[in-house]
Structure 1
Amino acid sequence: MKFDNYFDQQFELRYFEMNKLGLATPTIMLGLLEETAADHCYAIDHSIFDLFKMNVGWVLVSGVLQMDRYPSYKEKITIRTWLSSYSSIKGYRENIIFDENQNIIGRAKGLWVFFDIEKRKPIPIFNTIKEQWSFFNTSSIEHDIKKKINAVDSAHYTKQFTVHRFDTDMNKHVNNIRYLQWVIESIPEDIVDNYYLHTIDGRFIAEAQYSDTVLSLTKELPSATAFEHTIKIEGSDKICATAHTHWKTY
């Protein structure tokens, strides 16, 4: 894929980002994607911290990550990002992950909404941001991230967590990476030990608050390595997130 209007960020994978096999974890890959998005904001003089001072920020409402392989310790990767489309309040961020030889090892797409942190509602994206975004009208991955993912009706596996202060981000809501961690915690141990997360497709529906008790519900799908997930508030009908995951052997 060749075009000019994109933003690249390079990373070298570090020891604490590895699993026991010496490969980057899924949560680390999501973290690097977030870091790239934040650096893209910084590069156009609208850093996340500058926006926060104005009481605004970006909120991820849906997204997909697909990894063909995970980078290893000390491996250098490049994440390429751009906006493929946007409206007055939201935009689709595309991502391609390259190894040192420019082979594609992963892809991701996210739908982000510009957000008033105090009022907890979407607002129009600043014109100065839209004018400077790296924009190219093509997708990194063909996947509909607007399609609804139904909540789990009866779970095969359940884990319980309490929302701590470090689970929330500067926008005062639970970071999407934490949801992925909770999802993986409720996956059968045999799957986590012998397979890698190939694809996660998620929807972020409602906010969990500090001190809430959340349940991570996982249901096996007909495919032995595919699962349906729901994060909900214990003792209520409040659904915070839903997801599908697909796992592959190393």
Structure 2
Amino acid sequence: MSIQPTLSTTRFLAASRCNGQRCLSLQELVRELIDLATDHANLLGVGYARLAESGMAWVLSRLSVEMEKWPAMHSTYTLTTWVESFSRLFSSRCFELREGGEEGPVIGYIRSIWAAIDVASRRPADLSELTPLAEAASARQCPIAPHPRLRMPEESEERQYTFMATDIDCNRHVTTARYVELILDSLTLDDYDREEIGRFDITFTHEALAGQKATIETARCDDGVLITAIKAAEEEARQFCIARQAMRPRQQPVATNQNI
């Protein structure tokens, strides 16, 4: 089987996938990244069905999104993905986001790290048998910094949340997009009218399940950075994920009094 090293998709940005600032929302971008990664994995023969044969499932371990510009409502943009590297425990996958078609200007890059879990034990699984991943690894560059090590500052604000049925995906744990939404809610609508995300990093450490109670801790740093951790709301609480949002002044003013 010939290896297809990259996969691209061109999308029209409908209003239903926009945020209050009429741009592509981060959670929608994350969903699209996962869908495109899934499609490429299927083309390579290492998708959901192949892993299920070995009792495994893909999980996202780390994600870094760096954007020069966010696609605006009713615009067109193109996402391209490729495998950067592959090891026994992790696969590194990158994405490029262009304005318009495949020849349009680049407006963002994304790095992601994927692992597999044993569905029965919920423990990390060995990817060594997935040889198409090694064959697909590309020398194509992703010119953004690697994922940083994230630590929670000592002082933070807290709020509580209980994971519900609609927060759960096909692997029976909380979806990546739901974590992102909870993290984004650390700021207000007015905050996002003034500022936009320049870079977003998130690390996943443990899975959360329906019915679990969570504590969401947010620390605001002096340099426009927010650190948010989502933890189990119990003693010796395990951390589900931790994220870093680097904010910048919004490039275009937001029209708050216009209808679509």
Q: Taking structure 1 as the reference length, what is the TM-score of the superposition?
A: 0.88
Tell me the residue number matched to 1:123.
Answer: 125
Aligned pair 1:103/2:105, yes or no?
yes
Tell me the residue number matched to 2:232.
Answer: 233
Distance in 1 (CA, whole Å) between partners of 2:160 and 2:217 is 9
Tell me the residue number matched to 2:220.
Answer: 220
Q: Matches of residues 143-222 of structure 1 in structure 2 within 5 Å? A: 143-145=145-147, 147-155=148-156, 157-222=157-222
CA drift at 1:193: 2.6
| Runs of 5+ unmatched residues, structure 2 | 251-260
| Runs of 5+ unmatched residues, structure 1 | none
Distance in 1 (CA, whole Å) between partners of 2:184 and 2:88 is 34
CA offsets 1:55-91 (integer angstroms, 9 cap, x no match): 3221111121111111122322111111111112211
CA drift at 1:213: 1.2
Structure 1 letter corresponding to 2:249: T
Tell me the residue number matched to 1:60.
Answer: 60
Residue aligned with 2:207, SS: coil
Contact kept in structure 1, 2:5 and 2:83, CA below 8 Å: no
Contact kept in structure 2, 1:152 and 1:217, CA below 8 Å: no
CA drift at 1:192: 2.1
Contact kept in structure 2, 1:108 and 1:141, CA below 8 Å: no
Structure 2 letter corresponding to 1:234: A
Distance in 2 (CA, whole Å) between partners of 1:94 and 1:246 is 20
Distance in 2 (CA, whole Å) between partners of 1:91 and 1:50 is 16
Tell me the residue number matched to 2:256.
Answer: none
Structure 2 letter corresponding to 1:230: A
Residue aligned with 2:38, SS: helix
CA drift at 1:245: 0.6
CA RMSD of aligned residues (A): 2.1
Tell me the residue number matched to 1:137.
Answer: 139
Contact kept in structure 1, 2:111 and 2:146, CA below 8 Å: no
CA drift at 1:227: 1.0
Residue aligned with 1:191, SS: helix
Tell me the residue number matched to 1:11.
Answer: 11
Distance in 2 (CA, whole Å) between partners of 1:104 and 1:212 is 40
Distance in 1 (CA, whole Å) between partners of 2:45 and 2:85 is 21
